[in-house]
Structure formats: structure tokens, C-alpha cells
Structure 1
Amino acid sequence: MTAHDSPLADSPGADGPVAAEPRRDVFFVSNSVDELGGVTTWSHQMARLFTGRGHRVHVVGITPPEVPQELGEIPYPTTTLYAGQPPRPGRAREASMREEATKLTALFRSARPGAVVIVTQVWAMEWVAQADTHGLTVIGMSHESYAYSKASSRFHRVRRYYRDVDRMLALTREDADLWIGQGMNNASYLPNPLPFMPEVPSARTEKAVVSIGRLHDQKGIDMLLDTWAEVAPRHPDWRLRIYGSGEDEEILKKQCTALGLDGSVDWMGRTSDVPGALRGGSVFALSSRGEGFPLALMEAMAMGVPCAAFDCAPGVREIVRDGEDGLLAALGNTGELARRLDTLMSDKELRDGMGERARANIQRYTTTEIVNRWEGLFGFLER
């Protein structure tokens, strides 16, 4: 039996309420408690959900972030190990890692029996690996696709540091199979939960295409601008609204100007009101080079906004049913993505139908469903 054929997906908790689940201590360990990005958003969403289930949650970060994310009030403690950045690789770093790992050990030793450590990023696992986790269930996660991980230095670290944890979790069955093929026989999968399900969806009346994400190479905003250069002349009354900030902002704005798009592109900056941003759009564009199980895509569909997206990860094609509730284009093919956008922008009836189906279909990832599957996994690994 491969790891992902375990009772994770078929346990009693997978499709309904879990009866009399024990209250556990649950630790989330990430690179940072509050860095900007989807992993932080996911971690605190899950931390709130587990807290609501009666579990005692503690969120731990290794270092403070370069760009923090506003978390608001949180009903659980957080700890950051380093006051600044750790020393550069070498003896000083090794010594500091051992010292900081003792802080993790102290936190873990304060936990009750049945405690779980969820390591959301493999860099953070390097510190957890030096801590004493005896008697705890340790789950290591990869929040990106197998292919995107393989193209980075994280691939070898995942294979090294997650090989002996109790469960290594990918976001889709397809990615879990690929990790198993690399000898990670502890690999399984769990998708992200739906971030929200608003009562009022977008009316899809504004002639606006929306993009939400960091202005970073991974998110492919440069390719979105190339795509928009093909689409905009056919739809002079439409606008592209780009929400987000990041290190590539200046170069992207220069590209926008060079393409002659300043008259149809709005740089909206970071937003704390994602539903509001999506409610003002009629189409959502995802132009990423790599993703895991993208929250922004799920959020758009929950708002009833149909998506045109690069098929950049198994998670994308699992979320979007191509031709039914959204349209997919081959990764990096800006001409094809332009045609997908043009199709949605040109046909309001199609747009409305796909948007309504997207809103209905995305509810298969409700928080209750996903948290129950997590509870089932905890119980299975404890046996």
C-alpha cells in the first residue's frame, strides 16, 4: 500500500464531522510567523480552524520576515526564534541552529501526549530536525508543485529532511505520486481549504480583469503584461487591475510602459480586502510559473469570477475544470492565455455561466471538509 492509499482520504472524518476527537497540541513551524505569502495565509487559517475545534495551537517562525503580513488579532501564541537573520552557513550558523533548536525542544516538551508538529516549509525543517521530537507526530509539507520544487534547491532538502517524518504532505495526489517515485514512501496529499465563501459574489458587470499576487518572478506578471498587450487592443474599454507588491514592481512598471499599456493597466498595490478586489472584477487571470494549490484562484472562484490561468501545476488543473468553470492555457504560452482571456471578455453569457459553476464547484474544498481530513490524518498517524 502506498502512503497516499492510507485511510487519510477514506477515514470516517473525511466526509463528515469527527466525533469526540481528542484535543491536541498542534505546532505550526514555518520560515516566519508573518511573512507575506500564501504559506502564512494558509498557516493562520488552519491555526484558527484548529483552535476553533478546541486544539491548543502554537505558531512558530524561524526568523522575522523581510516583508511582514498583517495578521490582525490571533487567538493563539506565536514565537519567533531569531531576533534577526541567522549567521551565514558555517560553524557559527551550526552553533546557532543547535541553540535555537533547544528552544523548539522546550516548546515541544511542554506539549501533551498526542501532539502534532506541522512543518510548513522545508527550510524551517532544518531547525526542527535538530530538536527533540520524540513522541510527537511530525508532518512535513511542500506548498508547491513537485515540478516547481524540482527546479529549485528545495527539492534535495525535501528528500533529505522529510524522508523520515511521519508523513510528507503534497497538495495533490499527482504530486504525491511523483514524490513517492523519488523514494518518499511517506508521501500523501491534502488540498488547501477554501479561504472564504462570501454571501455576495461578484456581479461580473465591471469590465475588469483582476490579478492578485506578489510582484515576483514566480507569479509571472511579466507574462501577464505580454498577454495583455495582445488582448487590450481588442477590448479598449476593459482594464487590467494588478493587486500586489514586491521586489519586481519597478521593472514590471517599466515593462508596462514599454508595451504601451499604461492607459489600460491599474497598479492597485497590496490589498487587505481580497473579496472587495474580486467583487470589482469579471475575470481573474493567473499567470504563475509555478504554484501549489493557489489560494487566489480558489478565492476568485468563490466570488463567482471565472478564471483564465496557466496550467502551471496539478493543483491548478484540480481546482479549475477546464471548459466548465474556467479556462486553462499551456504554461508560458501567452498567446493561448490571451485567447482564453479574450473568450471570457467577449461573451458575458459564457462568463456568467462559468462564474456560477466556479462558485458551486469550489465548495468541495470547504473548511469543514478539509479540517475533518486533517483530524482523520492525526488519528491515523497516532495509531
Structure 2
Amino acid sequence: MLQPVPRDASKDPRRKRVLFTLVFMGAGGIERSVCNILAGLDSERFATRLFFHHRPPPDREDRLPRNTEVVWATDSYDYHRQSLPVYLWHLLRHAREADVIVAGQEGRAALLACLAGRLLNKPVVGMIHFDWGAFHREQPRRQLWGLRLLYPRMNRIVACGHDTARSFQSLVPVPEERLQVIPNFVDGDVVRAAGEGPLPDWAPAVFDKPVVIAVGRLEPQKGFDVLIRAHALARKRGVDQHLLILGVGSLEADLKALARSLGVESTVFMPGFAANPHALMRKAAVFALSSRFEGLPMVLLEALALGCPVVSTDCPSGPAEVLEHGRHGVLVPLEDPQALSEALGRVVTDEVHRKDLSRRARARAEELSATRALGAWEALLASL
């Protein structure tokens, strides 16, 4: 079981002490992005600590960076608004020992990081992961108010992509010199090693046909309803494929009902959370990203690293930036099941096209290496 590292582990006057904060250790791209940064920072220059409001679940402990002290406020996985003072009190204990505080995600993590920075007179860096131009329309109005209240008071803001930065700046008045773009990245070697891992027991029945795979939270943002409709259209045209959607969320019952209503429930597989999605992605014929909006999606970078052919919606923000407007994968319009179906069907049935997209994916993954992004993070943290 995961145990907090002794609290004096990061006391080294030669290294800058950096405290990253997250609400919990989820299975999404935000958590993977933060852990990738922590795993890559030069341990001779930076002493890092990762603070969670809630204890990391046991089945996700292996995703935590090994060179980082991990601490948390409560063993409970449940959130109660009245517990905010408890989270803040524990955060202040750890922030006193830090030189820089990094809010690893928007929302509650950013709120408490800002409060801790103000109370302790510590510099705060905020990370932006979403295209807020689209995302704020799905959120309570207080989320946008929170952005406009908190982020102009931070010392630096890091957006995960150029499109994300432009969208954020259109909503939140922050000085140009405080906003910096440092793209998300993945360690390709780690992703490919995970891709060589064993498949779960249920996988052989899925992979007896070519598989279209998608990974993400079962929420409206991810557009899995459009993907299921696209799959049904492909099956209707005679494309003999299976659709595998990995993830959990509030729309699970609705999506399964949609598959039943379209007569494709026997070819749509939704097994929930997968501890190692990369092994499944590596074996798939094509990776589908059907999102209505993103930031700079980690799962897309992971698909490229695995050489998985990519078909993505041209949503704000991220896919067009990552795929260079279609040079390294196929982009289709939003909310268009027919276009998505045709693009996926061609990859499944055209081996030459599929191999070309795989080659392009690997080439793009090499271009999006971690070295430049980590150098930018180290320079930023050292400057504060």
C-alpha cells in the first residue's frame, strides 16, 4: 500500500522545492500530464512533492511518479464542501516547505493553491488543460467567475497548447507575459513498454474482429454518442468491426441504451476502467477521438506513440494542433457521424492507408518529445 514519504525527504537547500496539487488521482489526462512532468523534472535541481485532497486509490498507485513525495489530506474518496478548510489546512502544512506551488488542475485545486499562495506569500503557477471557450458553457457560471478571479492573481499560467491559450485569454484578462504555452507530452518509451503488456481476459472476444478503440470519461464532452452512431453506420455498410470504449462516467447506461437502439449492442464493448489501456490501443486497428472539445489530449499523444492510426474530430482545442491539421491523422467535422464512420471504415478496410497513418503517427510522436517541454518547465520553475 502507498505510504506518505517522510516529510523531511525533500529538505535539500541545493534544490528548489516544488509542490504540485491535485484533487484526486483519477484515470484522466490531467493526472497523467502532471505525473509526467514530475517524473521528468531533474531531481538534482528540484525536490518535488505531490499533494492530493483525497488519498490515491490503490489501483492507481503504480501511476504515481516514483521520484516524488506523495501526500494527501484525507483517506476519504468522498467530497463534502464543508471539508474545504481541512484540505486547505493540510495544503498549508506542505506549502510552508515549498518554494513554488503549482495548481495541477482548474477548479478546487486552483482555489486552494491560490489561497495557500496568498496566505504564505508563495508564488503560484496555474495549469490550464481545457478549451475554456467551449468548456465553460457546460459548467456552472461560478466556474468562469472562478477563472476570472483566481488566475489573474497567479504568478504564471501554463496552457497545454496554443489553441487552449488563445481560448483562455479570450475569457480571462491575464497579462501576456504571465501566460506560457508548454505542450503536454508523454514518455514514448514508457507508453510503448506498457503497450507490450498482457491483455485482460475479456479481450480475445473483442479482438476477433478489427477494433476501433476510444478512451475517455463517459461524459458529453467525449462525444461517444456520435462515435456509436458512426459505428452503427459502418456496420450497416458492411464494415465488420468492433467498437471498444474504455472509461467510466455518468453516461454509461445511456450509451449502452443507444447501442441497443441502433442494433449494435453485440459489437460495442464498454468494459469500464482499464488499468493498462495501452496494450489494448496497440492491438487496435484505429484510435478514435470523438470529443466535442479538448485541451491537448494526452490519450491522443499516447496513441501516436504507439503508432496507432488516428481519426479525430476537429474539435477545439488540440487535435488539429497535434495532428498538424491532418498531416499525421485524419480530422473530421464535429457532430458528423457519417464523416466519422467513413473515415474509420477506410482505416479498418484499407491496409495501405492504415499502415501509412501508423507511420505518420510514429513520426509525429518523435517530434513531440518530452525534452523541450521539460526544459521549459524547469526554466519556468527556476525563475520563480
TM class, shorter-length: 0.7 to 0.9
Q: 2:174 aligns with which of 184, 195, 201?
A: 184
Matched, 1:166 2:152: no
1:97–1:130 CA distance, 2 compared to 1 (3 A):
farther
Q: Using the TM superposition, name which of 204-213 and 364-373 deviates more.
A: 204-213
Q: Distance in 2 between matches of 1:170 and 1:221?
A: 26
Which residue number in structure 1 is paired with residue 52 of structure 2? 61
- What residue in structure 1 maps to residue 126 of structure 2? 140
The 8 Å contact of residues 102 and 127 in structure 2, kept in 1 or not, is answered as yes
Q: Aligned in 2, Cα 1:183/1:239: closer, same or farther, shift over 3 Å?
A: same
AA in 1 matched with 2:230: T
Question: What is the deviation of 1:206?
Answer: 6.5
**In structure 1, distance between residues paired with 2:281 and 2:43:** 27
1:319 maps to 322
1:46 partnered with 2:37: yes
- Is residue 185–residue 370 contact of structure 2 (8 Å, CA) maintained in 1? yes
- Give the helix-richer structure, 1 or 2: 2
Counterparts in 2 of 1:100-179, with a 5 A limit? Answer: 100-111=87-98, 115-122=99-106, 123-133=108-118, 134=120, 136-151=122-137, 152-153=139-140, 154-179=143-168
Aligned equivalents of 1:295, 1:69: Cα separation in 2: 20
Range with greater deviation from structure 2 (143-152 or 255-264): 143-152
Q: 1:261 is matched by which residue type in structure 2?
A: V
2:242 is aligned with 1:239: yes
Gaps of 5+ in 1: 1-21
Distance in 2 (alpha carbons) for counterparts of 1:68 and 1:337: 37
Q: Which amino acid aligns with 2:218?
A: L
The CA deviation at 1:141 is 1.2
Matched, 1:370 2:354: no
Correspondences of 1:1-383 after superposition (within 5 Å): 23-32=15-24, 34-50=25-41, 52=43, 55-63=46-54, 70-72=60-62, 74-84=66-76, 85=78, 87-88=80-81, 93=82, 97-98=84-85, 100-111=87-98, 115-122=99-106, 123-133=108-118, 134=120, 136-151=122-137, 152-153=139-140, 154-181=143-170, 182-185=172-175, 186-197=178-189, 198=192, 207-379=210-382, 381-382=383-384
Separation (CA, whole Å) in 1 of partners of 2:20 and 2:287: 31
Shift of 1:305: 1.2
> Partner letter of residue 28 of structure 2?
G
Q: Determine the C-alpha separation between the residues in 1 that align with 2:209 and 2:263.
A: 22
Structure having greater relative contact order (Cα 8 Å, sep ≥ 6): 1
Change (3 A) 1:323 1:83: closer
State the SS of the aligned residue for 1:180: helix
- 1:267/1:177 Cα in 2 relative to 1: closer, same or farther (>3 Å)? closer
SS in 1 for 2:32: helix
Distance in 1 (CA, whole Å) between partners of 2:152 and 2:250 is: 33
C-alpha change, 1:324 and 1:347, in structure 2 (3 Å) is farther
Go from structure 1 to structure 2 and tell me whether the alpha carbon gap of 1:372 and 1:200 turns closer, same or farther (over 3 Å shift). same
Residues 249 and 195 (structure 1 numbering): CA distance in 2 closer, same or farther, change over 3 Å?
Answer: farther
Q: Is the 8 A contact 1:145 1:171 kept in 2?
A: no
Q: Which moved more, 1:170-179 or 1:346-355?
A: 170-179
TM-score (normalised: structure 2): 0.82
Question: How much does 1:155 deviate?
Answer: 2.5
Task: Give CA deviations for 1:228-268 in whole Å, capped at 9, x if unaligned.
Answer: 11112224422112222233222211211111102322233
Q: CA deviation at 1:146?
A: 2.6
1:232·1:264 contact (CA, 8 Å) conserved in 2?
Answer: no
CA distance in 2, matches of 1:27, 1:352: 43
The SS at the match of 2:263 is: coil
2:60 is paired with a residue whose SS is: coil
Give how far 1:375 is off: 1.0
> 2:26 & 2:220 partners in 1: Cα distance?
17
Spell out, residue by residue over 1:255-291, the C-alpha distance to the aligned partner (whole angstroms, 9 max, x if none). Answer: 1111110232223332222221112111111111221
Query: Using the alignment, how far apart are the partners of 1:236 and 1:334 within structure 2?
Result: 15
Change (3 A) 1:283 1:158: same
TM-score, structure 1 as length reference: 0.82
Q: Deviations over 1:189-247 (max 9, x none)?
A: 21111243427989x99722111122222222111111111112224422112222233
From the superposition, tell whether residues 132 and 168 of structure 1 become closer, same or farther in structure 2 (CA, over 3 Å).
Answer: closer
Amino acid at match of 1:56: A
AA matched with 1:369: R
User: Do the aligned partners of 1:216 and 1:248 also contact (CA within 8 Å) in 2?
Assistant: yes
Change (3 A) 1:231 1:268: same
Q: In 2 relative to 1, CA 155–48 (structure 1 residues): closer, same or farther, beyond 3 Å?
A: same
Q: Identity, % of aligned pairs?
A: 25
2:226 counterpart letter in structure 1: M
